């Protein structure tokens, strides 16, 4: 599947957490990856601040002992948490770092995890409701460890109201295993030899000396990290040089390239579409036959509890770029009923660039909803987002709208660049790739500039957050744009391209990408035209290629 190429040990962790149900394991992996992307947690270096201080604080720790059935014990000490001097990112980094180490144990993978939230001697100032929700969301469905139960120790009276709400964030079958206990009662559930003394146990455990890594340690890309999986489009042997590509097209002619595309088109999708087919989600699909593969779909943060089957769904798919995981989000043209979901996705994935390759109306048919303010200076509200068009630049083949996205819930503002490509003909494909090549170059430069302007705390992939690309269905022109970008990036890197394999692999992440054979042929000719423009072909290899 296309959820990412990971090592065998990593795959086994996620499979064991879901009892070797491959589909559920892929969903779990995607949820884990999305959580880390959303929180900006990529490389984790325990030597760097503020993570090192979080680890040394002992706020969160995995105890060395286990319960009677072998489950690992994770302890969060609420009185050590100071929301005013730390961040959710730092706390979650510390938790993920320690849990990643804990599940290296096969026993922990098999027997699961118990979470102890110790509120002894804590005050209301130590309580962080949003952080609690994030931790529960991580443990219940975004981390490869089976959450057996949650013990809340010595909860004060004021905690009753938030506790009633927090219980909604765990699955119904687990709610009966989320319980409040007094410190001395914990020994009725967990062996005293596994509990620290302040919780009625006999363990002499000391967090900093046994759990925090030494100053010389570091954990980065060279270590196993399931969030940093490689792209499906990597440098490899095979492919064609541009001269070989020209000879390939000359030899096969249009008919042969068409047959090549037909072979790809006949390949069955490499996954399932269960979420897209749910009755509650069908109304969010623009076209009934253009659905999202379950393993690569973009998951929105749920607005309600797990009983809400619609709040995490959007018809959008993560797609890898050349040597970049999740370089793009390929999606349909938003419907009026999905405008809010679209902007939620843009916000949650920290998107900087939106590439739109269709007009709102073509040939008298609505291809996409008007989801952004069309006029300069205008502001529109979509759910809890205010979208303001601050400036419009008009070019020969596209328009660039500079948007300000304001989250009324958090008070944060972000800048998003919206590209509208207007030179794709109503019928077929362009006669020349020149305009599309210029457009791609402009998008790449803008993405690079936007990434450089990110907050210094950005520790994500060098290429930045994913670029949202859409047309009407999110497979035709969208697939064409992404295929070109991948092929040309590879050409510049290692001097070869493989259009056929690029499209085949792309379709494992966004099914049916490249919708027609002339779009497929256009990709071949665009690579050749690019090579001519950049001096990689000294003569015109094909005289006036007949595009259609």
Instruction: Give the count of alpha carbons within 13 A of 498, CB side only.
Output: 15
65 in Cβ contact with 196 (< 8 Å): no
pLDDT of residue 166: 60
40 φ, ψ to 5°?
70, 30
Q: Which two tokens stand for residue 450?
A: 């936007």
3-state secondary structure 326-346: EEEEEECCCCHHHHHHHHHHH
Q: How much of the chain exceeds pLDDT 90, in percent?
A: 49
Predicted model pTM: 0.64
- Taking only the tens place, the pLDDT of each residue in 109-120 is 888 899 999 998
User: Which comes out higher in pLDDT, residue 523 or 87?
Assistant: 523
User: Which comes out higher in pLDDT, residue 118 or 44?
Assistant: 118
pLDDT of residue 309: 60
Which runs of consecutive H residues, i.e. helices, occur in 150-290?
160-166, 172-175, 207-211, 242-265, 274-277, 279-282
Euclidean distance between CA atoms 268 and 277, whole angstroms? 17
pLDDT of residue 155: 82
Q: Report DSSP letters for 351-383, one per residue.
A: --EEEE-S-SEETTEE-S---S--STT-EEEET
Is residue 36 pLDDT above 60, yes or no?
A: yes
pLDDT of residue 228: 42
221 in Cβ contact with 215 (< 8 Å): no
Is residue 437 pLDDT above 80, yes or no?
A: yes
Q: Which two tokens stand for residue 416?
A: 């998003």
Residue 266 burial by Cβ neighbours in a 10 Å radius (0-12, 13-18, 19+): exposed
Is residue 170 pLDDT above 90, yes or no?
A: no
- Assess whether 292 carries a catalytic annotation: no
Q: Out of 471, 482, 487, 523, which one is annotated catalytic?
A: 471
487 in Cβ contact with 505 (< 8 Å): no
Q: Are strands 113-118 and 147-153 parallel, antiparallel or unpaired?
A: parallel
Euclidean distance between CA atoms 270 and 290, whole angstroms? 14
503 in Cβ contact with 264 (< 8 Å): yes
pLDDT of residue 21: 86
Euclidean distance between CA atoms 89 and 93, whole angstroms? 6
Is residue 204 pLDDT above 80, yes or no?
A: no
Asked if residue 438 has a cis previous peptide bond (ω within 30° of 0), the answer is no
Q: Write down all domains in the chain, each with its CATH number in brackets.
A: 8-226 (3.40.525.10), 273-489+504-514 (3.90.190.10)
- Taking only the tens place, the pLDDT of each residue in 373-395 is 999 999 999 999 999 999 999 99
- Taking only the tens place, the pLDDT of each residue in 305-349 is 445 667 889 999 999 999 888 899 999 999 999 999 999 999 999
Dmax over CA atoms of the chain, in Å, equals 85
User: Which comes out higher in pLDDT, residue 50 or 7?
Assistant: 50
- Taking only the tens place, the pLDDT of each residue in 439-480 is 999 999 999 999 888 866 566 777 889 999 999 999 999 999
286 in Cβ contact with 472 (< 8 Å): yes
Average pLDDT over residues 62-70: 89
Q: Give the Å distances, CA to CA, from 293 to 108, 144, 326.
A: 31, 21, 15
Average pLDDT over residues 42-71: 86
Average pLDDT over residues 119-128: 86
Which of 102-116, 298-312, 422-436 is predicted with the least confidence, judged by mean pLDDT?
298-312
pLDDT of residue 148: 85
Q: Report helix, strand or coil for 20.
A: coil
E-strand spans in 51-202?
A: 60-66, 72-77, 113-118, 147-153, 178-181
């Amino acid at each position: 599947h296309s959820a990412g190429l990971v090592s065998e040990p990593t795959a086994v962790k996620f499979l064991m957490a879901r009892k070797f149900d491959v589909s559920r394991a892929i969903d779990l992996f995607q949820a884990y990856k999305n959580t880390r992307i959303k929180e900006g947690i990529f490389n984790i270096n325990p030597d760097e601040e503020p993570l090192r201080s979080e680890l040394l604080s002992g706020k969160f720790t995995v105890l060395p002992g286990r319960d009677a059935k072998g489950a690992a014990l994770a302890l969060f000490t609420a009185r050590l948490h100071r929301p005013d001097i730390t961040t959710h990112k730092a706390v979650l980094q510390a938790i993920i770092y320690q849990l990643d180490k804990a599940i290296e144990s096969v026993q922990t993978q098999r027997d699961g995890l118990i979470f102890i939230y110790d509120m002894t001697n804590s005050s209301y100032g130590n309580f962080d409701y949003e952080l609690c929700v994030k931790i529960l969301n991580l443990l219940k469905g975004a981390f490869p460890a089976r959450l057996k139960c949650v013990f809340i120790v010595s909860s004060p009276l004021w905690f009753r109201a938030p506790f009633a709400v927090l219980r909604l964030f765990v699955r119904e079958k687990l709610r009966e295993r989320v319980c409040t206990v007094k410190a001395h009662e914990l020994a009725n559930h967990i062996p005293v030899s596994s509990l620290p003394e302040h919780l009625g146990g006999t363990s002499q455990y000391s967090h900093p000396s046994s759990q925090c890594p030494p100053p010389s340690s570091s954990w980065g890309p060279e270590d196993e990290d399931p969030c940093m999986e490689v792209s499906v489009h990597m440098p490899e042997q095979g492919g064609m040089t541009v001269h070989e590509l020209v000879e390939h097209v000359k030899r096969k002619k249009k008919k042969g390239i068409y047959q090549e595309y037909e072979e790809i088109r006949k390949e069955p999708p490499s996954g399932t579409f269960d979420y897209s087919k749910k009755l509650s989600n069908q109304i969010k699909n623009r076209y009934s036959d253009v659905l999202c593969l379950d393993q690569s779909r973009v998951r929105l943060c749920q607005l309600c509890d797990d009983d809400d089957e619609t709040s995490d769904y959007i018809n959008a798919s993560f797609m890898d770029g050349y040597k970049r995981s999740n370089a793009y989000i390929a999606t349909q043209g938003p419907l009026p009923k999905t405008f809010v979901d679209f902007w939620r996705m843009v916000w949650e994935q920290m998107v900087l660039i939106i590439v739109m390759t269709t007009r709102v109306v073509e040939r008298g048919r609505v291809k996409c909803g008007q989801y952004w303010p069309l006029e300069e200076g205008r502001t529109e509200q979509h759910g809890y987002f205010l979208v303001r068009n601050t400036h419009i630049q008009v070019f020969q083949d596209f328009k660039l709208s500079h948007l300000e996205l304001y989250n009324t819930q958090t008070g944060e503002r972000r800048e998003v660049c919206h590209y509208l490509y207007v030179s794709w003909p109503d019928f077929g494909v362009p006669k020349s790739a020149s305009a599309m090549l210029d457009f791609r170059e402009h998008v790449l430069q803008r993405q690079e500039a936007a990434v450089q302007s990110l907050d210094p705390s950005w520790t994500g992939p060098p290429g930045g957050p994913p670029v949202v690309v859409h047309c009407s269905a999110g497979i035709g022109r969208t697939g064409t744009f992404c295929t070109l970008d991948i092929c040309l990036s590879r050409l510049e890197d290692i001097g070869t391209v493989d259009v056929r394999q690029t499209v085949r692999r792309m379709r494992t992440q966004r099914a049916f990408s490249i919708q027609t054979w002339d779009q497929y042929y256009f990709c071949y000719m665009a690579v050749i035209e690019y090579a001519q423009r950049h001096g990689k072909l000294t003569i015109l290899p094909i005289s006036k290629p007949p595009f259609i």
